[in-house]
Amino acid sequence: MNLNSIFYPKSIAIIGASTEIGHVGNDIVKNLVKQGYKGKIYPVNPKATELYHLKCYPNISAIKSGVDLAVIVVPSGVVPTVLQEAAKKKIKGAIVISAGFKEVGNLDLEKQVREICQKNNIALVGPNCLGVINPENKMNASFANIMPPSGNIAFISQSGALCTAILDYAQKLDIGFSKFVSVGNKALMSEADLFDYLAKDKKTKVVAMYAEQLTNAPALIAAAKKLTHGKNTKPVIAIKSGRTSAGASASASHTGALAGNDAAYEALFAQSGIIRVETIQELFDYLRVFTHNELPKGDHVAIVTNAGGPGVLTTDTVILNGLKMATISETTKTQLKKHLPPFANFKNPIDVLGDARADRYEAAINILEKDKNVDSIIVVLTPQSMTEFSKTAQAIVHAKQKSKKPIVASFMGGHLVNLGIKILRSHGVSTFNFPEQAAKALGVLTDFKFIEKEKNNSRFSFKNTNKNAIIRIFSDAKNRKQIFFPEVDSLPILHNYGFPTLVTYTATTAEEAHDIAKKIGKKVAMKIVSPDILHKTDSGGVMLGVTPENASTSFKEIMKRVKKNVPTAKIEGVIIDEMIKEKGVEMILGAVKDSGLGHTIMVGLGGVYVEVFKDVAFGLAPLTKGDAEKMISKLKSKNILDGARGQTVLDTEALIECIGRLSQLLMDFPNIKELDINPLLVLPKGRGVRVLDARIVVE
């Protein structure tokens, strides 16, 4: 996909260029003409001869010269015809501003647009979008009336209205952009395509994204890693709306109940290295700190303040955000004592006292910057009667210009500190209203420095799988119109993919139960078999530690309990398998399919309390071994697996292998909608794991 035709066109045709002031087609031509675009501009309007002193053309074909980009602002039903004309003209980029497609239910019309562009190798932005801005070449191919300053932030948004608000607020904060894209319905070009392009874009240092719905997690993760894990790392900062997920409790599995839609996005962002923010305020805080600072060498912070209270508050936030307070060297303290009053605090945080003028700030910052124990500096200023706001701001700017260490500032207050803040912002110093914001942003900057570059970044691959057997199982089930697979049907599927399952038997009578238990010769577990019962324990359908002598009686008892608790359930018998003697920890391993992103995989503390403790972590298939390790590291129960307080160390490697086998199963059989392995008994190290129960739902 040739995205240079979108961002660096030498000629642009605006199809639907309007002569009426205030119409979108008029605004786009006006923006291109008035805001400095130097390329050729061709307004297309069969009812006009001239627009903004430019000749109007009746159609694309009437333009004799070549055209790189078509900006389309016509009724939705006409868009396919216009794109066909653009294809004949060999145009390689199109921005469809027009609405009236998928967002109003016109799926077929949007499909037609996508197929025309695919067939003719046209890079497509939209439809139903604000447009595209490239400040570098003064190209405002949108109906936003602001041309932002050129900078190093690329902004991608699914909301056109948010774009205009971001542009306006960014001007106030002296933030510039390298690229600005409203993606609209994403009929062809997605965030993944833009990530691929921006990873190579020398003008882009930071990528910001507003997302409502994302699709194709594998492609998006791979593209995002080119930015966040690439040779020249570029942070991606995302804000995602729609965090709640209605209807999760109606799921047939524990995984489905716990893995709301937002859990999938959390996994997506974690796996790809994308930084997620909760608010637009945080988005701007992080954009500023990444834009104006190099990554620190370490996580040790020095604070310079003229007020003790804010200094303590900043210290707290520094520590709470995973940073450390720098230990000031004796040499640095000696130098500070030469320039600060004797009552100043020479330990971190450095308190230059309330009567500090610009010279004290300047001396403290310059001395701390030379201390090898200091990796970054937060400067806090509160307005006192003798405070020199402008001069102090200039002193910070001078120190920042000479240093490679991150230096951020918080001038607390309102009207009094405004001039100082303007000086800082206009000279590329990250400023924050409050020091807590500064510390939090600095923590994110430092975290990105130490983002874990995957060591185990290869996908799982297992040879001892029988894919054909599962194909037959699913095919037979489809013929029976079966979509739910209880334990008795799920275990053969898992067994054929190398999961360590137990040998199980099914009894339909008390006599069969007695004979099976006698054959096993040890204590057994009995579990009800019913397509109508999702959670066997809740219905009284589980009995553990049954002896061969009591097997017949236990069979009758379990049948009686289930019929009482679930009188309408169809009961097909009882599964009987050997009790595991070895002690281990019950975990859960499961998956649920999201219509857009794919399969979310869950691992966590299992058994009957999984939805009580909710100690779970999520990832998106396909997983690498590194992804699986990260998922387990997030669990509170990780300490139990590691043998907390002298307990037995458990077989985490076997658990990771099962996560990998599940990932491969899901990629090979995308028709799996939900899956639970619960409990998955993790045994002592070297002894592996055992699948004790499972259920699967297919589409």
**Per-residue pLDDT reduced to its tens digit, 170-211:** 888 889 999 999 999 999 999 999 999 999 999 999 999 999
Band (247; pLDDT cuts 50, 70, 90)? very low
Q: What percent of the chain has pLDDT over 70?
A: 96
Domain ranges of the chain: 4-241, 296-449, 503-579, 585-698
What's the whole-number mean pLDDT along residues 79-94?
97
H runs (alpha helix) in 566-694: 610-613, 625-633, 638-641, 652-668
Residues 429-466 pLDDT 10s: 999 999 999 999 999 999 998 875 555 567 788 888 89
Q: What is the rounded average pLDDT of the residues 541-556? A: 92
Tell me the mean pLDDT in the region 649-671.
96
Name the 3-class secondary structure at 631. Answer: helix
- Mean of the per-residue pLDDT values of the chain: 92
Q: Is the pLDDT of residue 251 over 50?
A: no
- Asked, colleague to colleague, whether 4-241 and 503-579 share their fold, the answer is no
**Which residues lie below 8 Å from residue 124, measured CB to CB, with a gap of 6+?**
94, 95, 96, 113, 114, 117, 187, 188, 189
Q: Does domain 503-579 have CATH number 3.30.1490.20?
A: yes
Tens digit of each residue's pLDDT (9 = 90 or more) over 331-343: 999 999 999 999 9
Q: 114 near 1, Cβ under 8 Å?
A: no
pLDDT of residue 579: 86
pLDDT surpasses 50 at 250? no
Distance CA 602, CA 588 (A): 8
pLDDT tens figures, 592-616:
987 688 999 999 998 777 777 889 9
What CATH number should be reported for the domain whose range is 296-449?
A: 3.40.50.261
Residue 253 has pLDDT above 70, yes or no: no
Interatomic CA distance for residues 542 and 525, integer angstroms: 7
For the chain, percent of residues with pLDDT exceeding 90 = 80
Report pLDDT digits (tens) over 385-444: 999 999 999 999 999 999 999 999 999 999 999 999 999 999 999 999 999 999 999 999
Residue 108: is its pLDDT beyond 90?
Answer: yes
DSSP H helices, 496-608, are: 510-520, 551-565
What was the pLDDT predicted at 173? 85
State the fold for domain 585-698. D-amino Acid Aminotransferase; Chain A, domain 1 (3.30.470)
What pLDDT, in 10s, does the model give residues 461-484? 888 889 999 999 999 999 999 999
Whole-number Å distance between alpha carbons of 692 and 577: 9
Which tens digits make up the pLDDT trace of 259-286? 556 888 889 999 999 999 999 999 999 9
pTM across the whole model: 0.88
* Domain 4-241 -> CATH class: alpha beta
Element (H, E) at 593: strand 585-594
